[in-house]
Structure 1
Amino acid sequence: MVGPDREIADLPSSADPQARTLLDKWGSLCADGLPPSREQIGPFELRPWLGHISIYEAVDGGADFRIRLEGTRISQMTGEDWTGRYASEVDAAFNAQLVSHMQEALRTGRPSLHAIGIYQRKFRSAVRMLLPVRSRADGPADQIFLVIYLDPGQAP
């Protein structure tokens, strides 16, 4: 099993530059202390990053998160596609704390950044961003964009 993910304050300099551009794009769309809505950050705006994004939707008031869509690049990195499954299943399978990290991101409306090992391929390291979004412009944050980019500069 992979050890616990390590929360980080900022993306490391070795992180893929695309991770930084997405984090900056997300931040530029925040307004009045609220994360962006899906209207603001839809598929056309996300085109450069789409394969690296999985969409998790809060269920049961945020007690868990259903994976609505697994990014194709994430599936390639892990060798698995978890579309339709739940973050709690990821936690159980890999001794992770994904649900609690996502709950915190929704509660604060702020991104959560982690240095991680790719669970299925322990020799690979990556950065993971959890970016809260609102499915409706007039609603609360209720989805998480889980973003993963390999990071060759970090030890697994």
Structure 2
Amino acid sequence: MARPERRFLLPEDGDAGSRIAHPSLRQLYFLWRDKCAGRRAPLRADFTVEELRPWLGHLLILDCVEEDDFRYRLYGTDLVGIFGFDLTGMLVSAATSRIGEKPLIEYRQVRALAAPSYVARSSPSARDYLTMDKLALPLMEGGTVNKIIGAIYLSESG
């Protein structure tokens, strides 16, 4: 069964979360949506470490550092094990030799649209035989997307 490569999920679309295949990502989406509390996107400060604990090893947090780039503030330890490298502290643009161009394009769209992105595809890393599911969620401050929080899991239905 062919799986779509990219989906944008709008919180006002009541069944958006049901289109997320991986149950852990679906739960993260619903937490994010609850934290929106009527806003377009929540603040980073709206999330506690305890709330994010179920996803910590698979979690990524990016700072929006320039108009078209992002820095990995956090790249979960399970992701390091899956993909074979740690991107913490790196600019996404500087990591494209390892991860390809798709993540940079996806993060730019999340920032421009201030909307979540869910992708299910082959990994853009050197291990292209892996299929993964990724959710990227905007965080806003002062009406601007200033961070992206997300998680990556190996696909359950490969």
TM over 0.5: yes
Q: Is 1:147 equivalent to 2:156 in the alignment? A: no
Change (3 A) 1:64 1:152: same
Deviation per residue, 1:7-41 (Å, 9 max, x gap): 136323xx2x2111111111111133421111211
Q: How does 1:3-152 map to 2 (within 5 A)?
A: 6-8=5-7, 10-12=19-21, 15=22, 17-60=23-66, 62-118=67-123, 119-134=125-140, 136=141, 138=142, 140-152=144-156
Q: Is the 8 A contact 1:88 1:98 kept in 2?
A: no
TM-score normalised by structure 1 residue count: 0.82
* Sequence identity (%): 28
Q: Which amino acid aligns with 2:5?
A: R
Between the two proteins, the alignment pairs up a number of residues equal to: 144
Q: Is the 8 A contact 2:58 2:152 kept in 1?
A: yes
Q: Which amino acid aligns with 2:146?
A: D
- Greater fraction helix: 2
Change (3 A) 1:79 1:38: same
- Segments ≥4 residues shifted beyond 6 Å: none
Q: Which amino acid aligns with 1:98?
A: P
Q: Is the 8 A contact 1:30 1:36 kept in 2?
A: yes
Aligned equivalents of 1:95, 1:124: Cα separation in 2: 14
Aligned equivalents of 1:90, 1:117: Cα separation in 2: 17
Aligned equivalents of 2:139, 2:56: Cα separation in 1: 15
Q: Which amino acid aligns with 2:130?
A: R
Deviation per residue, 1:30-58 (Å, 9 max, x gap): 13342111121131211111111111101
User: Which structure exhibits the higher relative contact order, with contacts defined as CA atoms closer than 8 Å and separated by 6 or more residues?
Assistant: 1
What value does the CA root-mean-square deviation take over the aligned residues? 2.0
Q: Is the 8 A contact 1:115 1:126 kept in 2?
A: yes
Aligned equivalents of 1:127, 1:98: Cα separation in 2: 12
